[in-house]
Amino acid sequence: MLACKNISFSFGTKRIFENLNLAIDEGQIAAVIGQNGSGKTTILKILMGAIVSKEGALFLDNQKISNKISQKASYRQLLGILFQHESLDRRLSVRENLLYAGMLYGIDAADLKNSIDQALKRADLIAHKDTPVKKLSGGMARRIEIYRAFMHKPKLLLLDEPTSGLDPESIKFFFDFLKKYVYLNKAAAIFSTNRPEEIENSDLRVEL
């Protein structure tokens, strides 16, 4: 599905990582592991097209894709993205945040309610659907963001430290769900982490 070959990146004169190679196929989960500041978020930003690597190349289904992948609608539509930092509108309710996301994803109106209901169920927040995000705990807000990324049934998940702020039970549920989702939907997922124990949930590993 997706491969990056000899990707390198620098901030000014500081080399963040060099000659990164990763190839992931349908049904696989890859973990990018490293300490804070090692370049995990940078890698995911390159893969989602938020920043450009001037060295190396990206391939989708064995076809080289341009550095300006953020401009390729066909590629963006494949992606389900979870950012490291909160990206919810804290003034809106849980349901309103999911409704807004569903509209941005282009989910058909006939399917939107079901997509929202599924995200609420997965996040275990049905009882809080009308609660403003600003009144939720950090873990509850994180669960909204995680399962929001799956609403449009993406084929490639890019998840930046998805378990940050989650309790052990929520972490287990997330990885069980991710494995099942990837298998059933013939999708692929790349997640970053600084927790060595979490790489057991992956098929491939990149250590920084």
The residue range of the domain holding 162 is 1-78+157-208
Q: What is the pTM of this model?
A: 0.93
Q: Of 114, 136, 153, which one is at a domain's C-terminal end?
A: 153
CB 105 within 8 A of CB 152: yes
Q: Based on the domain organization, do 112 and 45 belong to the same domain?
A: no
Same domain, 165 and 203: yes
Residues 45 and 144 in one domain: no
Residues 20 and 91 in one domain: no
Regarding whether 94 and 182 lie in a shared domain, the answer is no
CATH number at residue 56: 3.40.50.300
Mark whether 71 and 164 lie in a shared domain: yes
Q: Say whether both 116 and 176 belong to one domain.
A: no
Domain count, the chain: 2
User: In this structure, are 98 and 141 located in the same domain?
Assistant: yes
Tens-level pLDDT at each residue, the chain (208 residues): 899 999 998 888 888 888 999 999 999 999 999 998 889 999 999 998 888 887 888 888 888 876 556 556 678 789 999 999 999 999 999 999 999 999 999 999 999 999 999 999 999 999 999 999 999 999 999 999 999 999 999 999 999 999 999 999 999 999 999 999 999 999 999 999 999 999 999 999 999 8
pLDDT in the model for residue 70: 54
Do 164 and 201 lie in one domain? The reply is yes
